[in-house]
């Protein structure tokens, strides 16, 4: 999902005519930047980025964004889907993106999550 669409959803969630006390809160959460090396780099040409929603928030949607000066022109997004993080008895929802870089230069990207609290 594009950053613009996530922004529109955030505005829609936070600008309804509902009283402020019952109004949903939305946050766009940017994950850490991940870099996939060029195709000649072997296994490092496939990279995974994840981002989780903060405590008290649930995942509404998500996507990915390119980062830095590189583009994903020669890269394929293999996975772009919701993800549940589990650590012992604890879990949270988030977004997972897997990119395969088929180009000669490294590419950087990040997972982005739109999280809401009702």
* 6-41 residue pLDDT tens: 554 555 554 544 445 556 688 999 999 999 998 776
Full domain range(s) for residue 39: 3-117
Q: Report the number of distinct structural domains present in the chain.
A: 1
Could you tell me which residues are beta bridge partners of residue 46?
100
Global confidence as pTM: 0.74
What is the structure's pLDDT at 67?
Answer: 82
Contacts of 13 (CB under 8 A, 6+ apart): 24, 25, 26, 60, 116
Residue in this structure with the two tokens 């996507």, named with its chain if needed: 63
What is the structure's pLDDT at 24?
Answer: 67
């Amino acid at each position: 999902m594009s950053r613009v669409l996530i922004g529109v959803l955030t505005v829609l969630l936070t600008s309804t005519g509902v009283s402020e006390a019952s109004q949903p809160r939305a946050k766009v959460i940017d994950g850490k930047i991940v870099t996939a090396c060029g195709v000649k780099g072997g296994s490092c040409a496939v990279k995974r980025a994840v981002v989780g929603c903060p405590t008290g928030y649930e995942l509404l949607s998500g996507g990915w964004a390119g980062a830095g000066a590189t583009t994903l022109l020669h890269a394929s997004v293999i996975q772009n889907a919701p993800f549940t993080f589990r650590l012992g008895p604890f879990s949270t929802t988030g977004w997972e993106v897997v990119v395969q870089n088929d180009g000669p230069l490294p590419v950087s990207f990040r997972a982005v999550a739109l999280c809401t609290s009702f």
